[in-house]
Amino acid sequence: MEEKAMVNDVLSSVKGSLNTYQTAIAETENAELRQTLQQIRNNDEAFQYEIFKVAQMKGYYKPAMQATPQEIIQVKNELQQ
């Protein structure tokens, strides 16, 4: 398996884990368990960002074009309504 495919696979796997942690956190009543899950999620988010930076640096990931200031204002206004 080539490096690009492995990096993308790791990013995809971590993204799935983050979604699972978020669901578990939202549905957990026990404060200690909730805090533990939040710590795990935070660590995975940091790991995901490090892998993302590697992927971007190597040209494996091309982010979408940046939004214009007008587009940002439009979305912000829509979300605040």
Q: Would the pLDDT of 22 be above 80?
A: yes
Residue 63's pLDDT is what? 77
Q: Is 10 exposed, middle or buried (0-12, 13-18, 19+ CB in 10 A)?
A: middle
> What mean pLDDT is predicted for residues 27-46?
97
Q: How many domains does the chain have?
A: 1
Domain membership of residue 71 as a residue range: 3-80
> What mean pLDDT is predicted for residues 47-70?
90
| pTM, two decimal places | 0.72
Show the DSSP H helices in 27-68 as ranges.
31-57
> What mean pLDDT is predicted for residues 49-59?
93
